[in-house]
Amino acid sequence: MPHYDYDLFVIGGGSGGVRAARVSAALGKRVAVAEEYRYGGTCVIRGCVPKKLFVYASQFPEHFADAAGYGWTVPESKFDWSRLVANKDREIARLSGLYQSGVESSGGEAFHSRATLVDAHTVRIEAEGRHVTAEHILIATGGRPNPHAALPGHEHCIFSNEAFDLPDLPRSIVIAGGGYIAVEFANIFHGLGVDTTLVYRGMEILQRFDMDLRHRLHEEMAAKGIRIRCHTILEEIEKRQDGRLAAVITGGDVLITDQILLAIGRIPNTEELGLAAAGVATGVRGEILVDAYSRTNIDNIWAIGDVTDRVQLTPVAIHEAMCFVETAFKDNPTQPDHDCIATAVFSQPEIGTVGLSEDEAGKRFNNVEIYSASFRPMRHTLSGRQERMLTKLVVDGDSRRVVGAHVLGPDAGEMAQLLGISLKAGLTKDDFDRTMAVHPTAAEELVTMYKPTYLVKDGVRVA
């Protein structure tokens, strides 16, 4: 039996890598992690966490406006971008420290270095210029924004990474894309007072979500003042003499703006990792190919998270890490379960969703029942805000199973977490019906929609 320096060497100290390292080390395994940037990865350093903090920051103007209906007089408000960035940085530094200390306090070793594969069992720690060996190697290097190299002038644009640390808040911004990042940042910047335009190539933002949510969110964002241009792409960007940017879009219109943010998807971080040296196979997008257990074509090398380009979500990477530990170290082969993943878009209003959209359900089931309610949430009665909430259940009429649940409105993400349990458990509409409502809440609508709003038979909506 060959002797290795470590039982496990993890490349990448993000959510997935750190979880795998921490749990394996706690089992008594000899574990090391290498992270070239900051512990915490995309989610903590320049993704979910700072994004949510910025969402909170951007919501205050609406809270101030809504306060009047509740009897409050709010003095003139003023926003300080650099204070927000500095406070965010402090919180991120705290969390990053916790990620690293979590590895170390479990008995693992944390390197601040890029690490590359030399062969199937050897890793080079670049910062120290030395090689170490490991029985198992786990690649969890995540992804990065698609640079959109085909766009002339793309070098003048920023990505979500830079958006968190801009020296100044721009007066105007154009955002390209219609996915999570584009939509979330459009709302953040608009909420902070930035003149915001979203440019999306498709017919409606947030492809893959339920169409009612997509339309309604589009309407609400437009009503707030965000310009959304669908069926439109950026064709060319030019930097003007005054430092501003000119973006030529479909049809020849030119948008003059301070910043352009590209949010057109993320690509796996697999370059110069030594994958070829170790014989690890990659796919067309550069993603590491893995089997159902997250094992690559090389028996002792595994990969989890965004680098595998399965489902690019933090909780998925963490789940894959836990399954990896079961499989590699607990003699309990466990496949990550990617079915029925609840998710939230932190737009304003927020989206919380799990399961099938109406369109997807219509393709899979012959008899679909749709239950939906659109109403003004109680908090907006006194505030006077016109924003409406949407709740929608998609039910397979034959089995009675609820196969999709969709919410647009305040706290929709929190609701999606709990709806996720119900749908994962395969609960039926009858289970929802006999669940007592929690009153007065917005979520009670989810258990009080007794009659179908309409039916979808063989994919076609009927009365």
Q: How far is the CB of 121 from ligand NDP (least distance, A)?
A: 32
**Residue that has been written with the tokens 């406070």 in this structure:** 87
Question: What does the angle CA 170 – CA 53 – CA 62 come to, to the nearest 5 degrees?
Answer: 70
Q: How many residues bind ligand NDP (CB under 6 A)?
A: 23
Does position 142 bind ligand NDP by CB under 6 A? no
Sole binder of ligand NDP in the list 34, 110, 188, 344 (CB under 6 A)? 344
The SS3 call for residue 283 is: coil
C-alpha span between 196 and 310 (Å, rounded): 31
55 or 323: CB nearest ligand NDP = 55
Q: Does 122 bind ligand NDP (CB under 6 A)?
A: no
| 63 tagged catalytic | no
Tell me if residue 318 falls in helix, strand or coil. Answer: helix
Kindly state the smallest distance separating residue 82's Cβ from ligand NDP, in Å: 24
d(CA 410, CA 416): 12
Q: Are 435 and 425 in contact (CB under 8 A)?
A: no
Shortest distance, position 346 Cβ to ligand NDP, whole Å: 6
Residue of 16, 102, 177, 410 interacting with ligand NDP (CB under 6 A): 177
Choose which of 17, 153, 179, 355 interacts with ligand NDP (CB under 6 A): 179
Please report, as a single letter, which amino acid is at residue 252: G
For residue 425, the minimal CB distance to ligand NDP (Å) is: 22
Residue 178 lies near ligand NDP (rule: CB under 6 A): yes
Map 394-432 to HEC letters: EEECCCCEEEEEEEECCCHHHHHHHHHHHHHCCCEHHHH
Q: How far is the CB of 314 from ligand NDP (least distance, A)?
A: 7
Does 207 participate in binding ligand NDP (rule CB under 6 A)? Answer: yes
Q: Does position 266 bind ligand NDP by CB under 6 A? A: yes
Stretches 258-266, 371-379, 386-394, 454-462: which one binds ligand NDP (CB under 6 A)? 258-266
Q: CA-CA distance, 387 to 176, in Å (whole number)? A: 25
Determine if 346 is a binding residue for ligand NDP (CB under 6 A).
yes
Residues 147 and 144: their CA atoms lie apart, in Å, by 9
User: 301 or 313: whose CB is closer to ligand NDP?
Assistant: 313
> Which residues share a beta bridge with 234?
249
Min dist. Cβ of residue 408 to ligand NDP (A): 14
130, β-bridge pairs: 125
Tell the residue number behind the tokens 């009927």, with chain if given.
462
Stretch that binds ligand NDP, among 180-188, 236-244, 439-447, 453-461 (CB under 6 A): 180-188
Which residues neighbour 421 within 8 Å (Cβ) at sequence distance 6 or greater?
Answer: none
Q: Tokens 């989810």 appear where?
A: 446
> Is residue 154 at the binding interface for ligand NDP, with CB under 6 A as the rule?
no
Provide the binding-site residues for ligand NDP, judged by CB under 6 A: 176-182, 184, 200-202, 207, 233, 263-266, 312-313, 343-346
Residues labelled as active-site residues: 439
